[in-house]
Amino acid sequence: MEPALGKFAACLLVTAVSAGVLVALRGRPRQERWLLRAAAVAWALRLAGALALYTLAPHLVRFSDAVAFYHPETRALLSGQLPYNGFATSYSPLFHLLLAPALLVWPSPGAIVVFMLLAEGLLVASLVRADRADGRGLDGSRTAWLIVTSPLQVYWVGIGGYNSILIATGAVLALLAARRGRNLAAGAWAALAFLGCKALGVLAWPTVVAYRPGGGRRRALPLLLTVLLLAGAGLLGLDVLMPVDREAGRWAGGNVWVVAASLVPALYRSPAAAAASALLTLVAFGLGTWRFWRSRNDAARTGADRFAAAMAHLGWMFAVFLVLSLKSMAMYLPMLAPFAAHVLVGRSGGRLRPLLPWFALGALATVGIESRWLPDMIASRHLVTTGTGALVLAAELARMLSLVAIARACWAAMGTAAPPRGRPPEAG
């Protein structure tokens, strides 16, 4: 309990500093430049911190997935074994191949964390460049600052090296390629968001394919080839469904089902809960995609408007998944973070209040019930009969409500893009 409280206190502190800088710089001359510089310094400090941590005190992070899974599995690949055949894994076919060069340079789990930070840096720089081209430079700098200073990224990416940031990076680069009319490249980036990380990357596919009228078939082509290649590998005997099989049926905290099962234990692992989760998630995905599809066909929308709506649609998809799926782990939050920050900043108009769901989620970044504890906690009604359990349940509920608020903002942003600031946005 004490380590959990310590991490929670650290998240509160980091969140307060992040919000405090925004408040201190609000309305000041050259705010955009100062925020960009501050974001660059914060990211560089995180990179230096990761190098120092994994060099001088690697025992402090021995329980992260980078240490427990990514590192040994990638070393198995480097020794000549293949995923799904030579070693079991929960990750996509190209995940370990992406990590292998980093481990050849530095044979430490720290190399994986550095790789994740570089992916995050590429994502942030790409968003900043796009927003500046749209005349929304201040929004871009605020988004960059929020991303690199949120505990969502500081803890899960910069310390633990968790891989969900790769999904976000691939998805953002896919949207930017689609915006520029590079449709095959957009589809390839979307395919890599899946092939280079884990199955959750497919959540980005509908947004990329439906990004704009025209070019959808070319954007879908790399995705279709991905499915065909995996199907062919399966027919040849490779267990390509291993990642899905290994994760199927698992529950984790932070979603509506854990909160409901804490009150009604019979719901835990029940077929009814599984069916309801699947049905509600698919309905929510469908409604969000329908709204995005309608907005993208608006002839009055500029390229900036379409990109903002696409970012909002991806934010909706990821937030809905985290609320309604049975497995909603805190380490998945970096998958959502860039889209949530972009949407909330775009709708804030420089005010702090619309960003409160973001700061609440950051403060709760490390809160989550581990899967191995959940069965006993549900069966014993620990979450509702003890003081400690009630605090944990309250935190779980607060995290879920923060995600709901972010999903609501994404829903609204799909229909109305943020007003441009500065020079008029480019067309196209």
pLDDT digits (tens, 9 = 90+) for 244-303: 888 877 788 778 998 899 989 999 989 999 999 999 999 999 999 999 998 877 766 788
Residue 379 resides in a domain: yes
- Count of the separate structural domains present in the chain: 1
> What is the percent of the chain with per-residue pLDDT over 70, rounded to a whole number?
96
Question: 168-183 burial, b if ≥16 CB within 10 A, otherwise e?
Answer: bbbbbbbbbbbbeebb
pLDDT digits (tens, 9 = 90+) for 195-217: 999 999 999 999 999 998 889 99
Distance set, CA 298 to CA 29, 295, 302, 317, 325 (Å): 36, 5, 9, 21, 32
Residue 13 resides in a domain: yes
Q: What mean pLDDT value characterizes the chain?
A: 91
Residue 48 resides in a domain: yes
Q: What is the pLDDT of residue 425?
A: 39
Per the structure, the complete domain to which residue 111 belongs is given by 2-415
Token readout for 384 is: 């509702």
**In the predicted model, what is the mean pLDDT of residues 141-169?**
97
pLDDT digits (tens, 9 = 90+) for 79-124: 999 999 889 999 999 999 999 999 999 999 999 999 999 999 999 9
Residue 347 in this model has a pLDDT that exceeds 80? yes
Q: What does the alpha-carbon distance between residue 61 and residue 50 come to, in Å, rounded to a whole number?
A: 10
Residue 74 resides in a domain: yes
Residue 69 resides in a domain: yes
Residue 397 resides in a domain: yes
Residue 406 resides in a domain: yes
Judge whether 164 and 335 are in contact, CB under 8 Å. yes
Residue 68 resides in a domain: yes
C-alpha 257 chain-centroid distance: 20
